[in-house]
Amino acid sequence: MRGPVRLEKRLDQRASLTWLVPLLSIVSALAFGALLLIVTGRNPFSVYQRIFERGFLSRSAMRGTLIAATPLAFTGLCAAAAFRLGVINVGGEGQLYVGAVGASWAALRFGEGQPLALTFAAMIIVGGLAGAIWSGIAGVLRARLSTNEIITTLMLNYLAGIFLEYLIFNSRSYWRDPRSFGFPSGRQIPARSFWPSFTVGGFEIPLGFSLAAVVAAVVWFLYRRTTFGYEVDVMADSPSAARYAGIKTRTKIVVVMAISGALAGIGGASDVGDFRHVLDAKGIQLAGYGYTGIVVAALARRHPVAVLFVAVLIGGLTNAGYALQGPDFPAGLVGTLQGLILFTAVAGEILTRYRVRRRVVRPVPAATA
């Protein structure tokens, strides 16, 4: 190939790049975003300043940010957990929906007259199970019939969205509020089953977010410190080597997919418990946590603990987007910025694998008179 630059394979992995690349990704995404804002007649500095203020700079902003970050942390873990095996689960969105369905059922069913700990545990477990079953469908199809999991998980997202609308708008289900006639809505879960938040050092930390921190640590341990995680790594590197070594590769695909879906499902539970307190068919779809989770996982370079921090960052962006939306802050701006971050994170991967070398062009000697 001819061109001014050329890519040369790196033989070593530079440690500094693991944090430098994500940082550069964000900076360049903001630069591209600024370009778009200027072209469409807006002042990028004032837009970014407002996002920063409404996302991070006050106590109430931080509270909203952490609440938005919680489902993102779970869907980010969901995407990361599958991707470590080389399986691509883009179904975090749908798995989160069914998790919310499961968790709100558990809260409606066990919300009154049971110990609180049991109610919370039921919400988390039922939500996680629902997510695991939903992703398990794609996992079994991939493992048994080698069906492309990207398309099946995506189709399952749309199906889960339709399922939500069925439960709230098109049927007289257990989740629907029987008193809502004009505009159907979900039944609110009992007030005592709302998830509490803890105040640590002046910050209000929602229960869901602390749960995400614990789960991130568990995922890290599972992938880095157990035989299971080791086998996943072997499989990701070479499925045939894994089979020779006696690793049950098909089972592993199903298990990893189920774990991944369970994580997104718990994210759905946290959204019901921390924030919505109701199965909100429209709102949860508009939030798009599952797709944003892919951005989170990519920027965190699939590291479970890094996912947590990136989720707060992207959560701040999301939260500011909600707060600011209006005529001078159009819908889609935050989504565009998130997409740009994903783009630059993906392109940034190239820097970790290749060295960019400038092609040396020898100057043409000037003609002598």
Partner 1 sequence: MNTNLFVVILASAIFYGTPLYFAALGELLTERSGVLNLGVEGMMLIGAVGAAWGAQHVEGSAWFGVLGAVVIGAMAAAALGAVHAVLAITFRVNQTVAGLALTIFAGGVGLSSYLANTWKVAVRPTPRPIRKLDVFGLGDAPVIGPLLFHHTVLTYLSWILCALMSWYLFRSRVGLNLRAVGESPQTADAMGINVVAYRYVHTIVGGALAGIGGSFYALAIVPTWVDGMTKGAGWIAIALVIFGFWRPDLTLLGAYLFGALSSLGLTLKARNVHINGSLLDALPFAMTIVVLVVVSSGWARRRLGAPAALGIPYEREER
> With respect to partner 1, which residue has the nearer C-beta, 193 or 319?
319
Q: Does 333 bind partner 1 (CB under 8 A)?
A: yes
Q: Does 166 bind partner 1 (CB under 8 A)?
A: yes
Instruction: Give the residue, chosen from 10, 118, 198, 330, that forms a contact with partner 1 under the rule CB under 8 A.
Output: 330
Instruction: Give the residue, chosen from 20, 24, 34, 150, that forms a contact with partner 1 under the rule CB under 8 A.
Output: 150
Query: Which residues between 31 and 90 bind partner 1 (CB under 8 A)?
Result: 36, 40-41, 88, 90
Q: Nearest approach, Cβ of 346 to partner 1 (angstroms)? A: 5
In angstroms, the CA 163 to CA 235 distance is 34
Q: Does 331 bind partner 1 (CB under 8 A)?
A: yes
- Per-position x/- string for 259-298, each x denoting binding to partner 1 as judged by CB under 8 A, each - no binding: ---------------------------x-x--xx-xx--x
> With respect to partner 1, which residue has the nearer C-beta, 88 or 236?
88
Query: Which residues between 100 and 129 bind partner 1 (CB under 8 A)?
Result: none
DSSP single-letter state for residue 176: B
Instruction: Give the residue, chosen from 34, 121, 133, 162, that forms a contact with partner 1 under the rule CB under 8 A.
Output: 162
C-alpha dihedral, 242 to 245 to 247 to 249, nearest 10°? 30
Q: What are phi and psi of 330, to 5 degrees?
A: -65, 150
Q: Nearest approach, Cβ of 218 to partner 1 (angstroms)? A: 25
- Rounded to whole angstroms, what are the CA distances from 286 to 184, 192, 361? 17, 27, 52
Contacts 24+ apart (CB under 8 A), 55-59: 55/316, 55/317, 55/319, 55/320, 56/316, 59/202, 59/203, 59/204
Q: Does 163 bind partner 1 (CB under 8 A)?
A: yes
Q: How many CA atoms lie within 13 A of 127 on its CB side?
A: 31
Supply angle C-alpha 333, 39, 51, rounded to 5. Answer: 35
Q: Nearest approach, Cβ of 233 to partner 1 (angstroms)? A: 18
CB 270 within 8 A of CB 211: yes
- Rounded to whole angstroms, what are the CA distances from 175 to 106, 108, 161, 260? 11, 8, 15, 25
What tokens were used for 149? Answer: 């999991």
Q: Does 174 bind partner 1 (CB under 8 A)?
A: no
What tokens were used for 138? Answer: 């794609």
Q: Using CB under 8 A, which of the segments 12-20, 247-255, 261-269, 334-342 binds partner 1?
A: 334-342
Site residues for partner 1 per CB under 8 A: 1, 7, 36, 40-41, 88, 90, 141, 145-148, 150-152, 154-156, 158-159, 162-163, 165-166, 170-171, 286, 288, 291-292, 294-295, 298, 330-336, 338-340, 342-343, 346-347, 349-350
